[in-house]
Amino acid sequence: MGASADATTPISLLFSVVDRPGVLEGVLARFRACDINLVSIESRPGKEGVYDFFVDLEPVAPNRIEQAVQMLRSHDAVTDVKTLTHEANTATTSVPWFPRKIRDLDTFAEKVLSYGEDLDADHPGFTDAAYRERRAHITENARRYRTGMPLPHVEYTPEEHKTWGMVWKELSQLYPTHACREYNYVLPLLVQNCHFGPDRVPQIADVSSFLRDCTGWTLRPVMGLLSSRDFLNAFAFRVFHSTQYIRHASSPLYTPEPDCCHELLGHIPLFADPDFADFSHEIGLASLGASDEEIERLATIYWFTVEFGLCKQGTEVRAYGAGLLSSFGELSYALSDKPQRVPFEPSKTAVTAYPITEYQPLYYVAESFHHMKEQVREYARTFQRPFAVRYNALSQNIEILDNRDVLLRYANGIRGDLMNLIAALGKTPHSDPADLLAAHRATATETTATGTAAATETEPTHRR
Ligand SMILES: [Fe+2]
């Protein structure tokens, strides 16, 4: 799946309340006084004697939010009030809303900018009523999906399996010479574990389970195109939104929008690579609470990396972007002498214009996935968000690192991990600390290669 322009989102307040009898009732009364409806309210233990509250509000006029924030701040038991909203400048600590727990991704289910069953007049399946009905049926699975449910199983038809097989046959010829070594390492594992191959369309449930075991990434079904903000926010939870419908049988090597061939052959293999998985996660974390302009820049970085990235591999350049790995024509073109290739540099990449209906005239070449991750992490430090965040994989929550108690818990966790690491080193042969340092330096400067494979004869005309 890909990303696109933004959409409206809920409004939330975060604040801390000193625990004492009746205090919450007094706080909620201030919302009622401002004529604001609460959609949901959650509380969690904060520092000693304090509870942290997360309140989602119905969209209301900015002046009402500002009034409520001022009233909250004037309450002697309330501290650390933050506003998460798309209505900018309603408060000095205002940042755009972002999901804080993995269940919040459920709110994206119907917030698609275009639907899988909506086909343009030039789509190969536009006049095929049965095909349109089939896509509508599959996207309905995504509409109904909620966190915790089994991922939808699609009983693909013989014709759909045949279409997949034709795509597989064409692309798999190119992967050994065009795809990066990380891709070529993972693909056989997908054959062994997730039924990849020419005979049938793999199920995203099998793929999601495999990815979870490898890197902690999982899949969710999606009806169509999400906003850039929503799509990238999900990356912070190591979640990738995947379509399940397939391109029209009349044109197996062409699709104007993401389909399961693009997702499964273009995107999925590299999410099993630890460094690529972490790089993608960094983009997601950077997107949480980012301004609209920052989201646009991240989406552009996503475009030039996850979708159309090239990477050094020894003395060669290979492709790792999903838009290339699922596009027969552009894969060969990207590695030819026709386009321009320049080193990946986030601050420049983020503001580079690009076409979406033709081959890219310029590709960014990364040193390695590990290096990309460090570059994006450094770039994100320039963003305006007034606090740092981290993803707690155990609770599947986003933690806001904005007070001493939270930071102390974080530090204690790191200390525990560090002690465990030291104990493991003590039990491992050749565990001289100098070896560890050398390994770290080697990793930091390692260059990898990435290459791509392909899929479409005609170029996809969508943002993948
Ligand atoms: Fe994509």
Banded pLDDT at 451 (limits 50, 70, 90): very low
Radius of gyration for the alpha carbons in the chain, expressed in angstroms and rounded: 24
CA 232 to ligand 1 centroid distance, Å: 12
Active site residues: 262, 267, 307, 326
Q: Which of 69, 82, 78 is nearest to 26 (CA)?
A: 78
- β-bridge partners, 389: 400
Using the mean position of ligand 1's atoms as its centre, give its distance from the Cα of residue 240 in Å: 10
Residue 134: which of 246, 24, 216 has the closest Cα? 246
Residue type, 24: L
DSSP annotation string for 166-210: HHHHHHHHHHHHHB-HHHHHHHHHHHHHH--SSSSPPPHHHHHHH
Which residues are annotated as part of the binding site? Answer: 262, 267, 307
Rounded to whole angstroms, the Cα distance separating 10 from 40 reads: 11
The residue among 90 and 103 whose pLDDT is bigger is: 103
> Alpha-carbon distance 425 to 419, whole Å?
10
For 373-417, what is each residue's pLDDT tens digit?
999 999 999 998 989 999 999 999 999 998 788 888 888 889 999
Name the phi and psi angles at 224, rounded to 5.
-175, -145
What is the average pLDDT score of the chain?
86
**Which residues, at least 6 apart from 54, have a Cβ–Cβ distance to it below 8 Å?**
12, 13, 14, 41, 42, 43, 44, 100
Residues 402, 389: Cα–Cα separation, whole Å: 8
pLDDT tens readout for residues 98-120: 999 999 999 888 877 776 667 88
Specify binding-site residues for Fe cation: 262, 267, 307
DSSP string, 321-350: -HHHHT-HHHHHHHTSSSSEEEE--HHHHT
H/E stretch holding 411 reads: helix 404-426
Q: How far is the CA of 8 from the centre of ligand 1 (A)?
A: 23
Q: Give the three-state DSSP class for 406.
A: helix
Average pLDDT over residues 43-51: 75
Distance 243 CA to ligand 1 centre (A): 10
Interval 79-94 mean pLDDT? 61
Q: In what order do the strands lie in the sheet with 310-313?
A: 316-319, 310-313, 362-366, 340-343
pLDDT at 183: 98
Are the C-beta atoms of residues 45 and 51 closer than 8 Å to each other? yes
d(CA 234, ligand 1 centre) in Å: 14
Residue 187 pLDDT greater than 60, yes or no: yes
Contact predicate 260/268, CB 8 Å: no
Measured torsion, CA atoms of residues 218, 222, 226, 229, in degrees rounded to the nearest 10? -20
Maximum CA pair distance of the chain? 72
Fold of 11-85: Alpha-Beta Plaits (3.30.70)
- Pick one of 3.40.50.720, 1.10.800.10, 1.20.120.530, 1.10.1760.20 as the CATH number of 118-380: 1.10.800.10
Residue 450 has a pLDDT of 38
Per-residue pLDDT reduced to its tens digit, 254-305? 888 899 999 999 999 999 999 999 999 999 999 999 999 999 999 999 999 9
Instruction: Specify the range with the lowest mean pLDDT, choosing from 54-58, 172-176, 232-236, 358-362.
Output: 54-58
pLDDT of residue 198 exceeding 50, the answer is yes
pTM of the model: 0.80
Helix, coil or strand: residue 40: strand
